[in-house]
Amino acid sequence: MINTKNLIKVFRTDEVETTALNNVNLEINKGEFVAIMGPSGCGKSTLLNIIGLLDNPSEGELHFNGYQVENYTERQRTNLRKENIGFVFQSFNLIDELTVFENVELPLLYMKVSGAERKRRVNEALERMNIAHRAKHFPQQLSGGQQQRVAIARAVISNPKLILADEPTGNLDSANGEEVMNLLTQLNEEGTTIIMVTHSPSDADRSHRIIQLFDGHIVTENMRQKL
Amino acid sequence: MFKNFFITLFRNFSRNKFYTTINVVGLSVGLICTILILLFVQDELSYDKYNVNHERIIRLGSDFTLSGKRDRVATSPLPFGPTFAEEFPEVEQFVRFQGSGRQQFKYDDKEFYEEHIAFVDSSVFTIFSFPLLKGDPKKALTQPYSIVLNETLAKKYFSNEDPIGKILLVGENAAYTVSGVMKDLPSNSHFKYNAFYSMKTLESIRGAEQFNSQQPISFWSFNNYTFLLLKENSEADAILEKFPAYYEKYMKELGDQLGVSYKLIIQHLGDIHLRSQLQWDAPTGNIKYIYILTAIAIFILSIASINYMNMATARSSKRAKEVGIRKVVGAQRENIIRQFMMESISLTVFALIIALICVELLLPLFNQLVNKDLTLSFLDTPEVILFNVILAVLLGLFSGSYPALYLSSIQPVFILKGRNGRGGANGFLRKLLVISQFTVSAMMISGTIIVASQFLYMNSMDVGFNKKDIVVSVIRDSVLRTRIDALKMELKKNPNIKAVATSSSLIGFGGSKTVHLYESDEGMQQYALNFNVIDFDYIDLMEMDILKGRNFSREIPSDTINAFIVNESAAIKFNWGENALGKKLQLGVEIDGVDEGGEVQLGEVIGVIRDFNYQPLKDLIEPMNLIVSENPDYRRNLHVKINSENRKETLLYIQKVWNEFCPNMSFGYSFLDDRMKENYEPEERLTWIFSIFSLISILIASMGLFGLSSFMAEQRTKELGVRKVLGASVAKLVYLLTREFIRLIVIANIIAVPISYWALSAWLSDFPYHISIGIWIFVVTLIVSLVIGLFTVAWQSYRAASSDPIKAIKYE
Ligand SMILES: Nc1ncnc2c1ncn2[C@@H]1O[C@H](COP(=O)(O)OP(=O)(O)OP(=O)(O)O)[C@@H](O)[C@H]1O
Ligand SMILES: [Mg+2]
């Protein structure tokens, strides 16, 4: 599903040049659950953003679902992204001015889904994330775990084939983290490919494979036995 | 999509009440000013356009130069109408207006003075759209001594009676039959007439032969307003092209004899109000003021719009997260742009609604200020309202464009990392916007100061005579004119009356002009010289200075026959230098050796008087000549100099004496200085308009500054907290926060100086007597902007600086 060749990402700020990714070669297959680990600043989020088509690599190739996308324009990336990829972030990233329902509905608005259909799908997703009773609340009125469940509902609303999660449990206590991990695992079992950045070994244990990044390089790839 | 958008919009607005309020108030006030100005401008532009034929109606004016002195007048000779109709196939009809001055009307026991009446040809109602409520428009003015009244006058004299056929007594011995009632002329008419006498009346007074005379001399007296209705598809230029042949035929011979050159002026009816710069014209508008007002409206709107941009971008870091999230979940750039555009358009449309309501409430006040009767309604002014809706949308697009483009360009990765990406990048632009706001404000402040100073200056400058405490009244009664000496004696019995004098022209309003001959090395030369016929007490009453020679004297009877007092300008113009006294001067010339009116007077200069402004201050002092006469015909204006105390009693006394002398005409008076102020009414009005609008523009700009500074203070709360913990004083922190704004205001003022200087010099150059633009004006402007700016910023800064540092540090 995803294939990278000698991926390089260099950030230039004024005089400083940071090489966040250096010759990353990676292959992720459909249905996999991959965890990316590594010390802070080693380029995990950068990699995730590039895979998630939020950013373009400086050099190298990126294949997504058979398309070669590293030179896509912002418009092309957005089109591909909104159909295929869902995101979950450490800091939830919900819009404060929108209710739970409206936040989850957002991706469908940009996909021009009809009102009735939107309503059905949002309710279904909220049901599934066990947060339907909070549909009319605003994000600040929810606990962190609840907010992350809303974020996951939003990530899955468009039935993406790939979910990218950047430290999804980073801001949660262990109970809530556990719940979020259960949801992700469940999604993976239903066929969604998941790539997750995490610092937590126990979360990483849920994955099929762990990719260790260090200073922009992949150091090890650990195949794990499917649980 | 729409629903979602409006939801975000309203939640955003209500969560940021402070900023939303500042924006809405700023935009509303800006729109209020614009709508008011627009209504004003639209009204000014609509003058005389209510006439169905207005595009085919032209007015004939005269541009003539007599002995080097050029005059451009709105009037033309009496025979122009009929001869033009004969000579030029383009002309369909003509109509002439000849003003008649103030007259007393009488019906039964109702007796009043009426103004704005003219003798007109009967074609007036076919050419102009002056609808008749009663009477036949074709016949109403065909008979001598018929009169058409407007509705107001008809009501005033005849209440509910039918006025048609009634006899109205006019003046001392004329009786007119009312033959029609017309609707009051609309306020956007350059004509102000309340009634029309038939032109036939003049014909019967003067005799048909003389009235219809096409003798050369009749072509050289410009005492009519002549209007022509052109045939469809005819061009006024065609008449101008053919005019030289006409001139050759009717005017050239005598013109050459008199040494006059003549040019025809053709004005379209629609241009008269705003673009006519002729003498003897009705009080008109001025296209310059239209430009000035339009510029002010644009200024104020741009200040309000900049406020919006400033605050929207200043708050962009708060909105950036939302943009990032929307992009991550699939929003294209245009989705984001559309969202922010719609947001600003909704805001401006909302502001427009508020503005329309406020305009409705403010119109009576504004009407008073501009002396108009403007209304705002879908019925009367649909185009104004439509225009404003479009304007609001455009304003929204404009205001929203920068925030929208800026915010939509934010990359999602930047935001999701918790960084604000390019948070500082728009700092420069924000500064630029603040500078441009304060540049405009500074220009408005300097404008106000200059316009007000010029106005004060014209009111208080040394005009060469003392205009204080002089009661003036027009003497219409010819009997009273013969009894002036007795009236003077009676008036002077009151100790509060210092002097009484008469003159033919009222000082400050120009005078009469006629051809003179003056002595020069090359013999007697012609010159068209202004003159005023005064009495022996006039110069003393006016406290004018005689520089050389002597005043007229009762003791020297020949003074009334052959003595002249000229002003300094005349002595200089005639190259008399120091030797003006005794020079020969002749008033009037004989035509073909004949003294037509018996008015030629040859004499010598007995005095030179210090220049005084007998014309409005819009004109430089021209050479002039004073003549003393005992002919009652010249005693048209009565001047009574009174004590500045006990005014009321003195006026009552004058009135009492007047009534004794002239029981059938009531005493109408005004003070000379008040009368002279009327000349500067446009300037006075402009002063007010400038002051009000500049105040508003500063207000809007400070509101923006207030919003911006509170935002910046808020953003720097943490920094301030840290500084405070490290020992910075409140004063130091306030300085830190305000320093930047002070710099911006100073820069804005520096930019404004040359622009203001240029614009204001251009405005002042129209006035021959004007103030000079001193440095002090810009210094005062700077101080005013700084005080206002500092006051606005300092409060927010002080609040931020004096808050509890612990709280501040915790602030996220
Ligand atoms: N926009 C940017 N401009 C400049 N440098 C950047 C930018 N984004 C990331 N970097 C740099 O690239 C490197 C990788 O950053 P990245 O965010 O991918 O690290 P990370 O592994 O996700 O760290 P963490 O575990 O702390 O989230 C870091 O050195 C970071 O400073
Ligand atoms: Mg990271």
Return the residue whose CA atom lies nearest to atom 26 of ligand 1: A40
Higher pLDDT, A225 or A42: A42
- Choose among A81, A97, A102: nearest Cβ to B330: A81
Nearest-CA distance B327 → chain A (Å): 8
Does residue B421 register a pLDDT over 50? Answer: no
Residue B87 has pLDDT above 60, yes or no: yes
SS3 per-residue string spanning A114-140: CHHHHHHHHHHHHHHCCCHHHCCCCHH
Determine if ligand 1 sits within 6 Å of the CB of residue A39.
no
Task: Report d(CA B490, CA B492) in Å as an integer.
Answer: 6
Tokens 């990218």 locate to A164
User: Could you count the other beta carbons within 10 Å of the beta carbon of residue B440?
Assistant: 27
- What ranges do the domains of chain B cover? 1-45+284-422, 68-258, 445-461+678-812, 477-664
* B63 confidence band (pLDDT: 50, 70, 90): very high
Tell me the pLDDT of chain A averaged across its residues.
90
Lowest mean pLDDT of A122-126, B284-288, B656-660, name the range.
B284-288
Q: Is the per-residue pLDDT at B293 higher than 50?
A: yes
Distance, in Å, from the CA atom of B39 to the CA atom of B759, rounded to the nearest integer, reads 25
CB atoms within 10 A of CB B546: 16
Rounded to whole angstroms, the Cα distance separating B125 from B120 reads: 10
**Among B322, B332, B413, beta carbon nearest to A54:** B413
Distance from residue A41's CA to the centre of ligand 1 (Å): 5
Helical pair B730-764 and B775-801, crossing angle rounded to 10 deg: 150
Backbone dihedral angles phi then psi of residue B347, each to the nearest 5 degrees: -65, -45
| Distance between Cα A90 and ligand 2 center (Å) | 9
The preferred substitution site among A9, A42, A219 for testing ligand 1, maximizing ligand atoms within 8 Å of CB, is A42
Model pLDDT for residues B457-477, shown as the tens digit of each residue: 888 888 899 999 999 998 877
The DSSP bridge pattern shows strands A2-13 and A16-28 to be antiparallel
Does residue B429 belong to the interface with chain A, where contact is any CB pair within 8 Å?
no
C-alpha pair distances (Å), A209 with each of A196, B60, B325: 10, 98, 29
DSSP string, B158-174: HTTS--TT-EEEETTTE
Residue A223: band (very low, low, confident or very high) from pLDDT cuts 50, 70, 90:
low
Contact flag B330-A78 (C-beta cutoff 8 Å): yes
Main-chain phi, psi angles of B178, to 5 degrees? -75, 120
| Cross-chain Cβ contact A93/B326 below 8 Å | no
Which residues are bridge partners to A37 per DSSP? A212
d(CA B677, CA B673): 6
Contact A82 B330 (CB under 8 A): yes
pLDDT at B420 over 50: no
Q: Return the pLDDT at A164.
A: 94
B533: left (phi over 0), alpha (psi -120 to 50) or beta: beta
Which residue has the CA at smallest separation from atom 29 of ligand 1? A41
Q: How many CA atoms lie within 13 A of B236 on its CB side?
A: 16
B481 C-alpha to ligand 2 centroid (Å): 104
A192 pocket-lining for ligand 1 (C-beta < 6 Å): no
Least CB–CB distance from B416: residue in A93, A106, A111: A93
Cα–Cα distances (Å) from B185 to B51, B128, B371, B509, in that order, read: 11, 11, 16, 27
Q: Name every chain A residue with its beta carbon within 8 A of the beta carbon of B325.
A: 93-95, 106
Q: Using 50, 70 and 90 to split pLDDT, how confident is the model at A193?
A: very high
Q: What is the mean pLDDT of residues A176-186?
A: 92
The predicted model gives B715-732 an average pLDDT of 79
**Nearest alpha carbon, ligand 1 atom 11:** A20
Q: Note the pLDDT tens digit of each residue in B257-267.
A: 888 889 999 99
Both tokens of residue B250? Answer: 């009717």
CB count, 10 Å around CB of B577? 8
> Which burial class, exposed, middle or buried, applies to A140 when counting CB atoms under 10 A from its CB (0-12, 13-18, 19+)?
exposed
Report d(CA A55, CA A74) in Å as an integer.
Answer: 8
- Complex-level ipTM: 0.92
Question: Does position B545 have pLDDT exceeding 90, yes or no?
Answer: yes
**Beta strand residue intervals within B440-507, DSSP E:** 470-474, 497-503
Q: Do B329 and A97 touch (CB under 8 A)?
A: no
Helix, coil or strand: residue B306: helix
Cβ within 8 Å, pair A97-B4: no
The whole-angstrom distance between residue B27's C-alpha and the CA centroid of its chain comes to 28
Predicted confidence (pLDDT) at residue B185 exceeds the cutoff of 70: yes
- Element holding B114 (H helix, E strand): strand B110-114
* Residue of chain B minimizing CA distance to A163: B329
Instruction: Nearest chain A residue to B327 by CA: give it.
Output: A78
Count H helices and E strands in chain A, helices first.
Answer: 7, 10
The minimal CB distance from A54 to the residues B8, B12, B328 is found for B328
Check B333 against A74: CB less than 8 A apart: yes
Q: Which residues of A touch B413 (CB under 8 A)?
A: 49, 54-55
Whose Cα sits closest to atom 4 in ligand 1? A11
Going by CA atoms, what residue is nearest to atom 7 of ligand 1? Answer: A11
Binding site membership of A46 for ligand 1 (Cβ less than 6 Å) = yes
pLDDT attached to residue A121: 95
Q: Can you tell me which residue has the tokens 């020297």?
A: B556
Q: How confident is the model at residue B419 (pLDDT cuts 50, 70, 90)?
A: very low
Contact in structure between B45 and B37 (CB atoms under 8 Å): no
Q: Which atom of ligand 1 is nearest to the CA of A48?
A: 18
Going from the Cα of A129 to the center of ligand 2, the distance in angstroms, rounded, reads 25
Residue B692 per-residue DSSP state: H
Whether the pLDDT of residue A167 is over 80: the answer is yes
Contacts of A79 in chain B (CB under 8 A): 332
Note the pLDDT of residue B669.
87
Rounded CA separation B151/B2 (Å): 56
Contact by Cβ (8 Å): B384, B35: yes
Residue written as token pair 């595009």 = B55
Nearest to B329 among A75, A97, A154 (CB): A154
Is B329's CB within 8 Å of A45's CB? no
Residue A226, pLDDT > 60, answer no
- Segments forming the whole domain that contains residue A81: 2-223
Q: Evaluate whether A107 touches B329 at the Cβ level (below 8 Å).
A: yes
Predicted confidence band of residue B809 (pLDDT cuts 50, 70, 90): low
- The backbone region for B265, taken as left when phi is positive above 0, alpha when psi lies in -120 to 50, beta otherwise, is beta
pLDDT at A224: 60
In angstroms, the CA A212 to CA A39 distance is 9
User: For B510, left (φ over 0), alpha (ψ -120 to 50), or beta?
Assistant: left
Q: What is the pLDDT of residues B211-246, one digit of tens each?
A: 998 888 889 888 899 999 999 999 999 999 999 999
Q: Does B332 touch chain A (CB under 8 A)?
A: yes
User: 3-state DSSP call for residue A107?
Assistant: helix
Q: Contact, B485 vs B661, CB < 8 A?
A: no
**What's the CA gap between B458 and B771, in Å, rounded?**
9
Test mutation, B328, B407, B409, B413, chain A, max A CBs within 10 A: B328
Residue B221 is predicted with a pLDDT of: 85
Residues 6+ apart with CB under 8 A from B557: none
Would you state the pLDDT for residue B422?
44
CB contacts of B326 in chain A (<8 Å) are 95, 106, 110
Which of A13-17, A170-174, B731-735 has the highest average model confidence (pLDDT)? A170-174
pLDDT over threshold 90, residue A28: yes
Q: Does ligand 1 come within 6 angstroms of the Cβ of A40?
A: yes
Segment B141-158 shows an average pLDDT of 95
Decide: B594 and B554 in contact? Cβ < 8 Å: no
How far is residue A3 CA from its own chain's centroid? 17
At B260 the three-state DSSP class reads strand
How far apart CA A75 and CA B234 sit, in angstroms, is 61
**A226 CA to chain B: closest CA distance, Å?**
31
Check if the beta carbon of residue B296 is closer than 8 Å to that of residue B440: no
Pocket probe for ligand 1: among A46, A203, A218, the residue whose CB has the most ligand atoms within 8 Å is A46
Per-residue confidence (pLDDT) for residue B425, from 0 to 100:
46
pLDDT of residue A190: 93
Q: How many domains are contained in chain A?
A: 1
Are A102 and B4 an interchain contact pair (Cβ–Cβ within 8 Å)? yes
pLDDT tens digits, one per residue of B308-322? 888 887 777 778 888
The helix, strand and coil proportions of chain B, stated in percent and rounded to the nearest 5, come to 50, 20, 30
In chain B, which among 334-353 make CB contacts under 8 A with chain A? 335
CA distance A109 to chain B (A): 6
Distance of CA A34 to the CA centre of its chain: 11
Compute, in angstroms, the gap from residue A20 CA to the centroid of ligand 1.
6
8 Å CB contact of A75 and B332 = yes
Helix, strand, or coil here: B547?
A: strand
Give the DSSP letter of residue B663: T
Residue nearest to atom 22 of ligand 1 (CA): A45
- How far is it, in rounded angstroms, from Cα B453 to Cα B764? 11
Report the chain B residue with the minimal C-alpha distance to residue A114. B1
Q: Can you tell me the mean pLDDT for A202-212? A: 92
User: A12: domain CATH number?
Assistant: 3.40.50.300
Residue nearest to atom 13 of ligand 1 (CA): A20
Which pTM was predicted? 0.79
Q: In Å, how far are A186, B21, B218, B258 from B214, measured between CA atoms?
A: 111, 72, 6, 18
Of B1, B321, B417, the CB nearest to A109: B1
Q: Environment class of residue B381 by beta-carbon count within 10 Å: exposed (0-12), middle (13-18) or buried (19+)?
A: buried
Q: Which ligand is nearest to the CA of A17?
A: 1
* Average per-residue pLDDT for chain B: 87
The reported pLDDT for the residue numbered B415 is 63
Are B130 and B52 in contact, with CB atoms under 8 Å apart?
no
- CB of B501 within 8 A of CB of B534? yes
**Measured between beta carbons, which residues in chain A are less than 8 angstroms from residue B812?**
none
Classify residue B720 by burial, with Cβ atoms within 10 Å: 0-12, 13-18, 19+: buried
